[in-house]
Amino acid sequence: MKTGCAPIRRTPAPPEFFSTDVARARRFYLDLNPLKKRPLTVVCGGVEHCTPDYQVRRKTFPFYSIEYVLQGRGTLQIQGRALPLRRGRLFSYGPGIPHHITGDAADPLVKYFVDFSGTHALGLLRSCGILPGGVTEVFPANALQPLMDEIVQAGLRGGRPNAALCAKLLECVALRAAAARSPLAGTETAAFTTYQHCRRYIEQHCLRLRTLAQAASECHVTNAYLCRLFQRYDSQSPYQYLLRLKMNQAAEQLRQPGALVKQVAADSGYPDPFHFCRVFTSVFGRSPAIFRGLR
């Protein structure tokens, strides 16, 4: 009997619930028989480059799952609805959720998927607004790609630390998806387009803009409507967003050698440096003087 030889590592066979209509894929398998009492366990996942005739039809699924379309087009039939799939769409299914996914032969799908289980699984889906059977969209369309890539890389490395990392990264995906959600086409798209325009305008002109009224006027909307847009699509008010942008710019200036608080305040649109200091402290929890001394 030989000793001292490294054990042969065999690549697990794909579970039977995976579609075979895939041209190439990078998949990982961590725990196909997870303990239900654990808070969150990533079972498997990966990225699939689908064939033109891609199709998967399931009456149920053993785990909760999210899929994220990176490229291509297709159709998802779920919960009595037929929804188009395209870049940036995120959807979910799980136990007891029949679903039928087909690809567009002229524009084959490229999509990520993560299958998971645990006592916190439903809560995670709820936090990003896609309970099993749900569909959402993120903006920009590639917003989730870096995190999904990290999950795949950690999953392929395997081992307990990387399994734990995959679970944490999945939580980050949920948070990022919640922050980047945009309405599906045909639902509130005019309002969302206006919100995007206003947000970009405030970002581009943050140093010059001083008040909410000025920002709303230059965006050609009322104060009340601008606030409603941010309430619907953001986690902060438009004025909070403006202040954050101003103070981020000011913080960068304060890091420069020889920067004077008075000059930075003036450049940020605050003639009164004492007022600027109060605002800076309210945003970051540190005064400009203390911030400048941080290394």
Which residues constitute the domain of residue 174? 22-182
What is the per-residue pLDDT for 155?
95
What is the per-residue pLDDT for 294?
67
Specify whether the backbone of 247 is left (phi greater than 0), alpha (psi in -120 to 50) or beta.
alpha
Do 213 and 265 belong to one domain? yes
Do 167 and 283 belong to one domain? no
Q: What is the pLDDT of residues 75-118, one digit of tens each?
A: 999 988 999 999 999 999 999 999 999 999 999 999 999 999 99
Angle between helices 238-254 and 223-233 (to 10 degrees): 80
**Dist CA 293 CA 259 (whole Å):** 12
Q: How many domains does the chain have?
A: 2
Q: Among 142, 138, 139, 164, which residue's Cα sits nearest to residue 151?
A: 164
102: domain CATH number?
Answer: 2.60.120.280
Q: Among 112, 68, 63, which residue's Cα sits nearest to residue 86?
A: 68
CB 157 within 8 A of CB 150: no
Residue 76 lies in a domain: yes
**Dist CA 192 CA 144 (whole Å):** 20
- Kindly give the pairing relationship between strand 64-71 and strand 135-138: unpaired
Which amino acid, residue 201? Y
228: domain CATH number?
Answer: 1.10.10.60
Residue 17 lies in a domain: no
Q: What is the pLDDT of residues 128-143, one digit of tens each?
A: 888 899 999 898 889 9
Total length of the chain = 295
What is the per-residue pLDDT for 232?
81
- The pLDDT of residue 186 is above 60: no
Q: What is the pLDDT of residues 201-251, one digit of tens each?
A: 999 999 899 999 999 999 999 999 999 998 887 878 999 999 999 999 999
Do 241 and 97 belong to one domain? no
- Averaged pLDDT, 35-48: 94
Which amino acid, residue 106? A
